[in-house]
């Protein structure tokens, strides 16, 4: 059984922290068999942080899955006529000119027909009623080839084997699925929003009946909160970050400092959720929060009150077994809300 086990490491190459989570399939059961995180110092090298992660973690494998995000990535939900997967592969290239800000020869792209039919589109296209029988929604994802090549070279330079490169937005949904959380009831169509507040950007992925129906990135993150705390208290960024995470002695100052950042984030989040509800006819009734940006005390409660929707910090390790002989369980749990992307990437262990 051990010889047949499959191991994949989800490597989250964050701008301020590099995180790695290894999932091993022991039979059909996924097990967390490795974990490490290393902060990238100001002006530091991501490659150095990756090497440090693999020195610290007791990983069984060097097979890694990473992800891309930001301005190099475009995600669109396109209404198209129903067709086979083979036909879609041919047709999608004729659709890209209308939806991508890049030249076709500059990108790597992929597409997937969604089961829910035509509905919400990030570029405003929607049939408004969930789609006619002859229509379908196609998820199109594209990334500049240069960004992918840079990431592959980084991985290879660290002595690792790249298995796949995913998109941050979709890693959230993969982590949610791995937890075995039940989908929404079919007779009461509702949706939930997975919101990952990273250092420099926030990823929003809305799931309708367990399937992605809307995704977007917002250029607001935890670093904005840290800078606001630093300005308010007159301290260096590293000290402001520590105060932000454990603000018992400066709670009032921290809450005051980060309030404008949270207001901007909630404004963008509310616009996204209102858009989904208007175009899909389903209610987004819950927000699952993750990422280092939600570690500031009171963040989840603020977002819940401001959006008038249930909001809670999400632990992507729920329901997963951890190999305590290889992983510091206490440290893993302490950082769990920040590991959603890494866990989502590591779910490739089930398919690779």
Residue 132, pLDDT score? 45
Q: How do beta strands 107-113 and 63-68 pair?
A: unpaired
- For 17, residues 6+ apart whose C-beta sits below 8 A from its C-beta are 37, 38, 39, 40, 49, 199, 292, 338
The DSSP bridge partners found for residue 142 are: 74, 109
E strand spans, the chain: 6-13, 17-26, 29-39, 63-68, 73-81, 107-113, 135-144, 161-167, 190-197, 202-208, 211-218, 283-290, 310-313, 321-322
User: Is residue 120 within 8 Å of 280, Cβ to Cβ?
Assistant: yes
The C-alpha R_g of the chain, in whole angstroms, comes to 20
Confidence (pTM): 0.89
C-alpha to C-alpha distance for 258 and 199, rounded to whole angstroms = 14
- Domain spanning 6-69+146-180+315-350: which CATH class is it, in words? alpha beta
Tokens 């059984």 belong to residue: 1
Where along the chain do its domains lie? 6-69+146-180+315-350, 181-314
Q: Which of 350, 341, 323, 337 is nearest to 34 (CA)?
A: 323
The reported pLDDT for the residue numbered 125 is 43
pLDDT tens, position by position, for the chain (352 residues)?
A: 344 558 999 999 998 999 999 999 877 889 999 999 999 988 899 999 999 999 999 899 999 999 999 999 999 999 899 999 999 988 888 878 778 888 888 999 999 998 765 445 554 444 444 444 578 999 999 999 999 999 999 999 999 999 999 999 999 999 998 876 555 445 566 799 999 999 999 999 999 888 899 999 999 999 999 999 999 999 998 888 888 877 677 888 888 999 999 999 999 999 999 999 998 888 999 999 999 888 887 889 999 999 999 999 999 998 899 999 999 999 999 999 999 999 999 998 877 6
Note the pLDDT of residue 129: 44
Short-list 332, 269, 290, CA closest to 198: 290
Q: What are the beta bridge partners of residue 21?
A: 10, 35
Integer CA distances (angstroms), 236 to 104, 221, 251, 274, 327, in order: 44, 18, 18, 38, 32
Q: What pLDDT is stored for residue 11 in this prediction?
A: 98
Q: What is the pLDDT of residue 2?
A: 40
Cα 316 to Cα 30, 90, 171, 172, 344: the distances in Å are: 13, 37, 11, 9, 9
The CATH fold of domain 181-314: Nucleotidyltransferase; domain 5 (3.30.420)
Asked if the domains at 6-69+146-180+315-350 and 181-314 fall in one CATH topology, the answer is yes
Using CA atoms, how far residue 111 sits from 119, 139, 350, in Å, is 16, 5, 20
> What pLDDT was estimated at residue 120?
54
């Amino acid at each position: 059984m051990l010889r047949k086990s499959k191991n994949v490491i989800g490597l989250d190459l964050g701008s301020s922290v590099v995180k790695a989570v290894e999932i091993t399939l022991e039979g059909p059961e996924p097990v967390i068999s490795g974990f490490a995180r290393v902060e990238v110092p100001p002006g530091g090298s991501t490659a150095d942080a990756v090497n440090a992660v693999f020195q610290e973690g007791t990983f069984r494998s060097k097979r890694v899955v990473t992800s891309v995000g930001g301005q190099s990535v475009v995600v669109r939900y396109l209404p198209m006529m129903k067709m086979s997967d083979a036909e879609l592969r041919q047709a999608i290239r004729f659709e890209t000119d209308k939806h991508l800000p890049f030249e076709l020869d500059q990108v790597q792209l992929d597409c997937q027909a969604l089961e829910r039919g035509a509905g919400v589109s990030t570029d405003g296209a929607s049939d408004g009623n969930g789609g006619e029988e002859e229509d379908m929604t196609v998820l199109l994802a594209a990334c500049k080839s240069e960004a992918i090549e840079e990431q592959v070279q980084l991985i290879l330079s660290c002595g690792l084997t790249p298995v796949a490169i995913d998109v941050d937005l979709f890693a959230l949904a993969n982590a949610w699925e791995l937890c075995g959380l039940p989908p929404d009831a079919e007779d009461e169509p509702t949706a939930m929003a997975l919101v990952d507040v990273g250092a420099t950007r926030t990823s929003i992925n809305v799931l309708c009946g367990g399937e992605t129906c809307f995704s977007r990135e917002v250029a607001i993150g935890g670093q904005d909160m840290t800078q606001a705390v630093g300005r308010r208290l007159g301290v260096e960024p590293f000290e402001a970050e520590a105060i932000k995470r454990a603000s018992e002695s400066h709670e009032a100052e921290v809450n005051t400092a980060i309030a404008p950042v949270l207001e901007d984030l909630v404004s963008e989040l509310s616009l996204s959720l209102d858009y989904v509800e208007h175009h899909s006819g389903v209610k987004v009734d819950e927000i699952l929060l993750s990422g280092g940006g939600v570690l500031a005390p009171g963040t989840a409660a603020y977002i819940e009150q401001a959006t008038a929707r249930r909001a809670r910090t999400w632990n992507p390790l729920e329901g997963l077994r951890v190999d305590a002989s290889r992983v510091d369980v206490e440290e893993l749990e302490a950082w769990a809300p920040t590991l959603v992307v890494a866990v989502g990437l590591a779910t490739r262990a089930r398919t690779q």
